[in-house]
Amino acid sequence: MTTFDDRKNAFEKKYAHDEEMLFKAVARRNRLVGLWAAELLGKSGSEADAYAKEIVLADLKLPGPDDVIERLEADLGARADAATIRAKLDELLPVAKAQLIAELDDQEG
């Protein structure tokens, strides 16, 4: 292999890794926002966990967060509007990324 091929393969691996991490971070964010919404709905324990899983699965229908926002808006009613839900999604993405990085560090260390 040439140096160019090595670099190309390295970039492809990095891109694949970055996309996988983004997918995991978005799924984690959706789980966290699902737990937040579950609390607003008065759910706790296993009921809250099950609801959070439903929110994660809701994101698999369409690209982007719109399907999650629509689901949460319908479920939460007057408790939170779309702007509040978007703000919570934005707030929780860095939290989800930090959790994933911490888990990777724990696995490596």
What are the chain's domains?
3-108 (1.10.790.20)
Alpha helices by DSSP H, the chain = 3-40, 45-58, 66-76, 82-108
> What local confidence, expressed as pLDDT, does residue 109 receive?
66
> What local confidence, expressed as pLDDT, does residue 92 receive?
97
The answer to whether 55 and 35 are in contact (CB under 8 A) is: no
Q: How many Cα neighbours within 13 Å face the side chain of 78?
A: 0
pTM: 0.86
Residue 53: C-alpha distances to residues 18, 28, 32, 36, 84 (Å):
23, 10, 10, 12, 20
> What local confidence, expressed as pLDDT, does residue 1 receive?
63
> What local confidence, expressed as pLDDT, does residue 106 receive?
80
